[in-house]
Amino acid sequence: MTYTAPIEEQKFVLRHVAGIDRLAEAGFDVSADMADAIVEGVGAFAAGEFAPLNRVGDTVGARWSPDGVSMPDGFRDAYRAYVEGGWGTISAPGDFGGQDQPQVMAAVVLENLGAANMAFSLCPMLSAGAIEALKHHGTPEQQETWLPRLVTGEWTGTMNLTEPQAGSDVGALKTRADPVGDGTYRIKGQKIFITFGDHDLADNIVHLVLARLPDAPAGTRGISLFIVPKVRAEGTANDVRCVSIEHKLGIHASPTCVMAFGDNDDCIGELIGGENGGMRAMFTMMNNARLNVGLQGVSIAERATQAAVAYAMERVQSARAGAPGREAVAIIQHPDVRRMLLRMKALTQGARALAYYANAQADLASRGDAAAKARADLLTPLVKAWGTDVGCEVASLGVQVHGGMGFIEETGAAQHFRDIRIAPIYEGTNGIQAADLVGRKLGLEGGETLARLIADMRAEAESDHLLQLIETLDGVTKVMTNPQTPVDSRLAGSYPLLTMMAVAVAGWLMERQMKAADRLGAAGEGDPGFLAMKSTVAQFFMATIVPEAMGLKASALAGSTLLYANPDEAFAAA
């Protein structure tokens, strides 16, 4: 199955949801024409260079040897084309070779790369996180040394956070950083689950590594961040080694590495972000990565939907119920298949709208808009969690539309399902995102961030279902933010609340698009077929997905009593 970038859809969302004109007014050197050129260019690039490697990436995958990790044939040439095309420079700082475009335009790039080849797209995605950390926390000298080649993609970057005994509990890490005496540090420890921790696509890999200084405070307060390159700035090899790669359910072309630092006591790093300032710097990387992982849900949902639609239009089976005659028809004519396809499109477009909107809010925040920054912070866990849940659901529906052939690897439907399943887990599990939402984000600015969002949605919404969901959401969040509500009860209801809130915001943005599509259609502007389908998809979202989210109220408010009604051992009982 080939990939075709959803160019008209992406342009439409950039205009009517992200607000390219508003970003230009905020000081970005961007216009609708420029945005269109980027969308068209990266769509063609992703389809032409990354997509043809998706199958070989899955079947051959990254390979480990004592000399390092090698990628399948074709990947190095495609990555070189990515670098030469400047696709990694879109939103990077102009002072270091970037184009200074809005972050939302880089999101379009990553969405297309991820849809074409999710495993491959993880390499530039991780580099983007390293660039963000250096941009916000690096010294001028560090930025001058590392950013130019990271920005172009000549070098790649990683995040090294997790350790075997720590998992998501970052405060339990044990990697050490001992001062050498010349301003550098000797790093010693092991990290696991390091995406693209080693490969043969670039000549250097810049690792950002969390470690503890001697006598550092316990827990997260005592964590620092270090720049630990595979090759030092002066050109000598550092004591950094990939000791193995994981054998995984999916994303086989993304080497998930176990990294050893300092086995020979000669791993040198430099501090970034100040002593014991690692968590602050880490969250700069993580917040960027969480938005981009949410986009992976959109990417796979788009690819799975395209594959399902193509199969449904080709596969002829059975007469349509209630139709005259008994002639077999393409399965796209059967009501349940049509329901699944429309649901796939509605979920994909809703998640895309939410992701683009959050990225645009982050762009406005970078220009000093405090309210936009707070809104971007509030929306980030929604993008990451709901976006990846959407990716999983849509990929599963894609298998279902294919029927028995969906369970056969050669159709590619199974690969989409396998590849996306990691997304709700890494960069902070979706349960952690929900806990973050109720534990921190609902209370931003004393609750004013949430109140402004609900007020904006309430003022603009017209659909009865959407208005009901907004009111339901308002009531549930009031319970969740009430100091009298036990912490266990808030956490027990956090996941359904997150889903409810994400659907409400996505529904608000889908209704906005429906109005724009209807307005343009009435004026005789734009592609009539695209606008008609956009309107139908938005109406389907309001009619089916929004009411489902209202049904989550009971789960969100159920409390934690039943969760702890039995001892731990009872869960293992036969």
Q: What are the residue boundaries of the structural domains of the chain, listed by start?
A: 7-155, 157-278, 430-568
The reported pLDDT for the residue numbered 171 is 72
Element containing residue 264 per DSSP (H, E): none
Question: Looking at this protein, which amino acid is placed at residue 549?
Answer: A
Tell me: the pLDDT tens digits for 8-67? 999 999 999 999 999 999 999 999 999 999 999 999 999 999 999 999 999 999 999 999
- Classified by CATH at the fold level, domain 157-278 comes out as Butyryl-CoA Dehydrogenase, subunit A; domain 2 (2.40.110)
Phi, psi values for residue 415, rounded to 5°: -60, -40
Does the annotation count 427 as an active-site position? yes
Element containing residue 207 per DSSP (H, E): strand 205-211
- Interior CA angle at 156 toward 199 and 356, to 5°? 120
Q: Which of 232, 233, 214 is nearest to 224 (CA)?
A: 214
Tell me: the pLDDT tens digits for 472-509? 999 999 999 999 999 999 999 999 999 999 999 999 99
The reported pLDDT for the residue numbered 446 is 96
Q: How many CB atoms lie within 10 A of CB 445?
A: 14
Q: Which of 298, 308, 372, 373 is nearest to 342 (CA)?
A: 308
Tell me: the pLDDT tens digits for 325-356? 789 999 999 999 999 999 999 999 999 999 99
Tell me: the pLDDT tens digits for 404-417? 999 999 999 999 99
User: What pLDDT band is residue 167 in, cutting at 50, 70 and 90?
Assistant: low
Tell me: pLDDT of 78 over 70: yes
- Count how many residues are written for the chain: 574
Cβ-Cβ contacts under 8 Å for 40 (sequence gap 6 or more): 7
Alpha-carbon distances of 376 from 181, 488, 500, rounded to whole Å: 41, 26, 18
R_g over Cα of the chain: 24
The whole-angstrom separation of Cα 136 and Cα 142 is 11
The reported pLDDT for the residue numbered 1 is 63
| Catalytic entry in 427, 511, 548, 569 | 427
Place of tokens 């534990």: 439
Average pLDDT of the residues in 413-427: 97
Superfamily of domain 7-155: Acyl-CoA dehydrogenase/oxidase, N-terminal domain (1.10.540.10)
Q: Are the folds of 7-155 and 157-278 the same? A: no
> What is the percentage of the chain residues whose pLDDT exceeds 70?
99
Dihedral of CA 25/30/31/36: which sign? negative
